Amino acid sequence: MGCKRYKQIAGFFSLGLWPGALMASVSFEVVSELLESHCIDCHYGEKPKGGINIEALLDRFDESPNVEIWEKLERAIVERKMPPEDKKSLSNGQVATFTTWFENEFVLPNGIERAGINHPRRLTREELQNTLEDILHLDIRQTVTNSRLHVIPETIIEKFFSAGIRGASGFSNDATALSEESVDLQTYARCFSAVLNLLDSDEEARERLFGTKNTTDLSATATKEILRGFGTSAFRRSIKGDELKRFLTVYENMRENGRTEYESIKSSFLAMLLSPMFLYRLEEVSSGLSPLPAGELAIRLSYFLWSSPPDDELKNLADNGELVRPEVLKKQFHRLLADPKRVALAENLGGEWFDYKHLRRKSAVNKRSDRMAGYYRTQYEEALLFFDSIIRYDQPIFRLIDADWMFINKHQTNIYRIPLKEDSMEVDNALPAVNIHYRNEDRKIYEGNYEYKHLPLSLKMLDDPNRGGFLTLGSTLSATSTENRTSPIRRGAWVMERILGIHFEIPENVPDLEESQKKAKEQKLNLSPNEILKLHSSQKGCASCHKYIDPVGFGLEIYDQLGIQRSAPKVRITGKELFTWEPKIIPRKYEDRSWDLKLELEPGKINEVQFQYTKGSHRLDIRNVRLESSLIDLEDKHFGYTGHATHKNVWKFNLPTEAPTEGWKLTAEVKGDGGNNSYGVVSLLGDEHKEIEPAYKLPNGKGFTRPADLKELLVNEYRDKVIDNAVKKVLAYAVGRKVLPTDRPAIRRIKESIAKHDYSMNKLLEEVVLSYPFRNKEHQ
C-alpha cells in the first residue's frame, strides 16, 4: 500500500516533532510520509473515502498534480475533518507543516504570485444582449408594462438562447463552462438577423451607425468607414486591414447579387457578429505572466461592472495607456459604478450569487399563470433592488444577511404581513438609482394604470427584526422551496453555500429522501414531511452534513414556499403558563374574555402577561387588558396582536406593595383577525423567566430561536466565513473562473483593506478591480 516515489524520513515525524527550520521549506517527501502514516488507510483503492485517493495523488504528483483534490484535502486537514474523530488526530505542528508545504507548492509556487490561467470567454446571454444594444444603439428589450399578465417580456436574445450553465465559479460567465457549451452558429445567425432588422424602423440608430440619414448612394469610402467603425465596436479593438477586407468582400458580393446598399451593409454587420472576435472576449496570448494591456483592462472592467463593452471615455483612456495607472483605474471604477448600467451587477452577480435571477424567467410570458407570474416578478424586483441598495448606499457586506430595510409595495406588504416603520433611510453621497428592467435612466417602465399588484416598489424601513437581508427575502424563500412545499434541507444548504461558502457533497450509499418516505409509509408511521426529514438526517453518513443544514433549515420553516410567514418562531419561554386559548373562545368582534388566575403574583414588582400565538391561520388581536381583584384593579390599554407576526404582545402591571398575591382575574378585549382559527398560550413573565431556550443549535454550540437570532449568529460567530465567501464570490465573478489557491495572496490583501473600511461592499468591488488577478493575465 506504500507510495512508490517518496523516501523514508527520519523517525521524528512519527513523534509529531516538526523542527521550525522545516516550516520555511517542507519537502514533498515529508508530506508523503505524513499522509501515509495518518490518512492513506481510508483513502486508497477504487472507492476511497470522500473521493480522495491519496495513494494516487502521491504516485502521480510529478506527472500532473490535481490541484482541486489537493485543495479539498488541505481544507479537510485544516478543518480537522481528517483524520476522522475515531482516529488519532494530527498535531498542530503536523497541520502547520502540511499547510506550509501546500502554500509553497500551490499558493506561491517558486515564491511567485500567479494570476490564474486565462481562457477565451464567450459572451454570456446577458453580455450578448447588452453588447448588441451598445454597438447597434438599439433598445432590444420589450416594454415592461402593467399588462394583465404582470410579466417581464422575454427579450429577443432570451427567445433564442436559454440561461447559461453555471460553472465551477458559481456563475454563468465562467470561461470553462462557456467553452464546454456547443455554439450553434445557425441560432446566432437567426438571432442577429432579427436584431439587425430592428434597424429598419429606428432612424436614430441608423443615423448613428451610418453617420447620415441617407442609406443610399454611399461612396466606397463611406461604406468602408461604416464597416470600420462597426467592426471596431464589435471586436472591442481596432479592426485589422485583412479583417476589414473580408467584410468588404461580403458587402460587394451582396451588391452583385442585387441587394441594396443598406441590406448589403447589414449582411456585413451580420458576418462581423458571427465572428469569434465578437462572440468571444479574446485576450492577446503572451507567454507566462504579464500585466493586462490597457485595452484588455478596459474590457475586463466594463464587463465586470456593466456586462457590456467600454464606453468612449474608458476607450480613450485605454488608447492613451492611462488606464493601467492604479489611480486612473480607481477613478474609472467609481465612475462606472455610479452609472445606472451597474444594474448588471444586481442582475448577474447578485442574481446568481443569491439565486433570484431565475425568478425573472418564471415571470416570463406564457411560463406561469397570471397570478404567479406577477408574484415572481415582484420578488425578482425586490431582490434586485435590495442587492443594488447595498452598492448604492455603500453598505457593509453583512447587510446582505441582516438589514433593516427592503423594497416593497402596498400589495406585497399585505401579503407578507410585515410591520413597517415611518422612518426613511438617509445616506450621504448615495449613488443614482438604477432602472429595474433597462440599462439607462431615459427609458422608463410604462406608466399607465398600474394595477395594485404592480405598484412600483419603494424602500421601506422594517419593524420586524426577523425580516431584512437575503435570508428571509421572499426570493430566497421561494428559490429554496419546491412548487408546493418548503424544504428545510434546501434552505439550510442555501445558507451554508451562499452565505458561508460551505459546499456539501452527497455521500455515497445513503438512501435518498424518497426512500425514507416510502419506508415510513410501509411501516404505517404517521409522520409529517418534516419528521421524515429528521428521520432521514439521522442516518449514518448523513449526520455530518445535516448537523449544519437542519438547524438553519428548520429555523426558517416559519415561512412558506412563497416567503409568507405562516407561523411564529417556536419560542420556548420558561415563564409560568396561566392558560391557553383555542378557536371556540375567540370572537369575530371585540369582546371581553376573562380567566381566573391560579398562580400568585408578586406585589411591589412589575408583572408581565404575554399572549403568544402557537398555531392557526388567524392572529389574535388584544386590547384593554385588566388585572382585577377584590382590593385593586389595574389596566394596560395598549393594542397588540400575536399571530404569524407579533406586535406588542406583552402587557405590564405594576403591583403596589399592598396588593394581594392571589385572587386575581385577567380580562382582555380580544378578537380573531379575519377568523377565529387561532391557538396560543398566555404566560406570566417575571425577571427570572425571561430567558428563552434556543429552539435550534448549530454545531458550535450556539443556539437560536428566531430568524433574527440566526442572522446575528451568522454575522458574529461566522464572521470570517461570511467575509471570505463574499470576497471569493466577487473575485470569481470578476475574473470569470473559479477561485484558485494562487488567488489567496490577493484575497488576503483584499480582506485587510476592506476591514479598514467597515467591510464596505463598494470597497470590496474596488479592491477586486485593483487586485493582482484582475489586472494581470497568465497563459500556458
- Tell me: the pLDDT tens digits for 330-351? 999 999 999 999 999 999 999 9
> Given pLDDT bands bounded at 50, 70 and 90, which one contains residue 287?
confident
Per residue in 377-419, pLDDT tens?
889 999 999 999 999 999 999 999 999 999 998 888 888 888 8
Q: What are the grid coordinates assigned to 461, written together?
A: 424601513
Half-sphere exposure of 773 (CA within 13 A, CB side): 29
CB of 38 within 8 A of CB of 90?
yes
Residue 158: what residue type? Answer: E
What pLDDT does 368 receive? 45
**Pairing assessment for the beta strands 572-573 and 405-408 based on DSSP bridges:** unpaired
Cα 583 vs. chain centroid, distance in angstroms?
A: 41
Q: What is the mean pLDDT of residues 261-273?
A: 96
CA separation, residue 554 to residues 16, 258, 303, 401 (Å): 42, 70, 39, 18
Residues 6+ apart with CB under 8 A from 132: 138, 140, 157, 192, 195, 273
Q: Is 166 exposed, middle or buried (0-12, 13-18, 19+ CB in 10 A)?
A: middle
pLDDT of residue 583: 93
Q: Which domains does the chain have, with CATH numbers?
A: 11-111 (no CATH), 121-281 (no CATH), 292-338 (no CATH), 345-472 (no CATH), 479-555 (no CATH), 575-690 (2.60.120), 703-779 (no CATH)
Distance of CA 176 to the CA centre of its chain: 21
Three-state DSSP string of 420-472: ECCCCCCCCCCCCCCCCCCCCCCCCCCCCCCCHHHCCCEEEEECCCCCCCHHH
User: What is the average per-residue pLDDT within 355-375?
Assistant: 67
What is the distance between the alpha carbons of residues 625 and 200, in angstroms, rounded to a whole number? 73
* Residue 347, C-beta contacts closer than 8 angstroms, at least 6 positions apart: 126, 307, 357, 384
Q: Would you say 187 and 159 are in contact if contact means Cβ atoms under 8 Å apart?
A: no
Query: Residue 626 pLDDT more than 80?
Result: yes
pLDDT tens per residue, range 472-484: 999 999 999 987 8
For residue 143, name the pLDDT band (cuts at 50, 70, 90). Answer: low
Distance (Å, rounded) from C-alpha 323 to C-alpha 104?
A: 33
Q: How confident is the model at residue 9 (pLDDT cuts 50, 70, 90)?
A: very low
The highest-confidence range among 235-249, 369-383, 569-583, by mean pLDDT, is 235-249
Is the pLDDT at 454 greater than 70? The verdict is: no
pLDDT tens per residue, range 53-102: 888 888 878 767 788 888 888 888 888 888 877 788 889 999 999 999 99
Does residue 83 have a cis bond before it (omega within 30 degrees)?
Answer: yes
